[in-house]
């Protein structure tokens, strides 16, 4: 039984890796196509029908590009930085539950049915695990910026570190309201607690703070100051080329997926299809494949939102970013906790 467990875990990990990395590749295509649509252009549509083989062509090109390591760069850290940022982005997906689970006998190979959870690891402090791992992603960016031995990279790395530390606070504060309502840090419990009503409705303020902070944490526009082209070329990955640059790129898109999945889990009801009423009597133990479809659909919508916002809203100035983080979002997060806990204590007891 132990070997079955280990085997199924390996299959799950391989599946998540495959799906996420493919999704990342296609997100780059989606980004380019949607940006073209927003700017009234065509976008890449030559490689394969509708350009769907474009990511493959990009990947091959990245691999065959010359890999340049700048003179007097700190080589070990220079090589380590992109790997570090990609790994920390992917590992955070380990505790995201996309559905409940199902019983299987592996096509009659096992005597007793085995319950497969649709989640790699069901950790008691799952939410904290995600926060802890994503908080490590600063290192990749900072190290990449520092080890390149270039002033633009260093400035980009410093900006990234300052921005990510600042917004991590409001991110954590906005989650506390959800934890108060759900009474647990297990992501499964948090989703279950939203059966009656999605937390986006009673926690509207927290949702807003969380969304803005996660845009800042993923270094996406309007918060992409660490790589603002007009000021510091490409920020922390100015000196990177070839597959190392691609890894930074993949890390950014993986962060988008993690942020979207987390938003779905915490505020948008996880695998519950509508804001009210749960599953309306559909037996999801039997139709176990319905929750993952709903969950992934919501993640796709949020990914589209990320791209949509990027091509709609202009970039902030750096002092505006810091002011927004510390003087607007942070107090709003504190206010949200005070109001939520007051309501919990005095109204619901």
Partner 1 sequence: MESVLFYIFAAASVAGALLVVFHKNPIASALSLVLTLFSTAVLFIFLLAHFVAAIQILVYAGAIMVLFMFTVMFLNIREESLKFDAQNLPVKLGVLLLILFIFGYFASIGFKKSFSLNHAASLPESFGTVEGVGEVLFKDYLLPFELTSVLIVVAILGVVAIAKRGTD
Give the shortest CB-185-to-partner 1 separation in angstroms: 5
Residues 6+ apart with CB under 8 A from 91: 133
Q: Does 94 bind partner 1 (CB under 8 A)?
A: no
Q: Does 232 bind partner 1 (CB under 8 A)?
A: no
Round to whole Å and give the CA distance between 27 and 252.
11
- DSSP, res 225: G
Query: How buried is residue 211: exposed, middle or buried, by Cβ count under 10 Å (0-12/13-18/19+)?
Result: buried
Site string for partner 1, 26-65 (x = CB under 8 A): ----------------------------------------
Residues of span 175-194 touching partner 1 by CB under 8 A: 184-185
Whether the Cβ atoms of residue 235 and residue 145 lie closer than 8 Å to each other: yes
Q: Does 341 bind partner 1 (CB under 8 A)?
A: no
Instruction: Identify which of 28, 77, 78 has the alpha carbon closest to the alpha carbon of residue 56.
Output: 28
Give the shortest CB-139-to-partner 1 separation in angstroms: 7
Q: Which is nearer to partner 1, 142 or 221 (CB)?
A: 142
Interacting span for partner 1 (CB under 8 A) from 160-168, 197-205, 211-219, 328-336: 160-168
Q: Which is nearer to partner 1, 305 or 334 (CB)?
A: 334
Q: Does 136 bind partner 1 (CB under 8 A)?
A: yes
What six digits make up the tokens of 258? 């993690």
Count of positions on this chain that bind partner 1 (CB under 8 A)? 27
Q: Does 144 bind partner 1 (CB under 8 A)?
A: no
Distances (CA, A) of 188 to 154, 193, 206, 214, 270: 40, 9, 20, 21, 9
Instruction: Identify which of 306, 335, 210, 334 has the alpha carbon closest to the alpha carbon of residue 265.
Output: 210
Residues near partner 1 (CB under 8 A) are 74, 77, 123-125, 128-129, 131-133, 135-136, 138-139, 142-143, 146, 154, 157-158, 161-162, 164-165, 168, 184-185
């Amino acid at each position: 039984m132990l070997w079955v467990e280990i085997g199924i875990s390996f299959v799950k990990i391989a599946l998540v890796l495959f799906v996420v990395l493919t999704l990342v590749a296609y997100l780059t295509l989606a980004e380019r196509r949607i940006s073209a649509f927003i700017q009234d252009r065509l976008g890449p549509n030559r490689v394969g029908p509708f350009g769907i083989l474009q990511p493959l062509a990009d990947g091959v090109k990245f691999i065959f590009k010359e890999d340049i390591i700048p003179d007097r760069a700190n080589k070990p850290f220079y090589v380590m930085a992109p790997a570090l940022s990609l790994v920390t982005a992917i590992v955070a997906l380990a505790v995201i539950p996309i559905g409940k689970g199902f019983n299987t006998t592996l096509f009659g190979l096992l005597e007793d049915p085995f319950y497969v959870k649709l989640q790699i690891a069901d950790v008691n402090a799952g939410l904290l695990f995600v926060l802890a791992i994503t908080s490590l992603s600063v290192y990749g960016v900072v190290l990449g910026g520092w080890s390149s031995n270039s002033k633009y990279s260093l400035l980009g790395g410093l900006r990234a570190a300052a921005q990510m530390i600042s917004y991590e606070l409001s991110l954590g504060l906005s989650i506390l309201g959800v934890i108060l309502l759900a009474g647990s840090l297990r992501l499964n419990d948090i989703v279950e607690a939203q059966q009656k009503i999605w937390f986006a409705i009673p926690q509207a303020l927290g949702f807003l703070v969380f969304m803005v902070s996660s845009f800042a944490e993923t270094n996406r526009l309007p918060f992409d100051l660490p790589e603002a082209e007009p000021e510091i070329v490409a920020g922390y990955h100015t000196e990177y080329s070839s597959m190392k640059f691609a890894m930074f790129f993949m890390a950014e898109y993986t962060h988008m997926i993690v942020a979207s999945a987390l938003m779905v889990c915490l505020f948008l009801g996880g695998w519950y299809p509508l804001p009210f009423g749960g599953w309306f009597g559909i037996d999801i133990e039997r139709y176990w494949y319905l929750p993952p479809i709903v969950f992934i659909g919501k993640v796709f919508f949020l990914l589209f939102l990320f791209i949509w916002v990027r091509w709609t809203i202009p970039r902030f100035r750096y002092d505006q970013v810091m002011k927004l983080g510390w003087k607007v979002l942070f107090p709003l997060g504190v206010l949200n906790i005070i109001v939520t806990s007051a309501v919990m204590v005095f109204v619901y007891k």
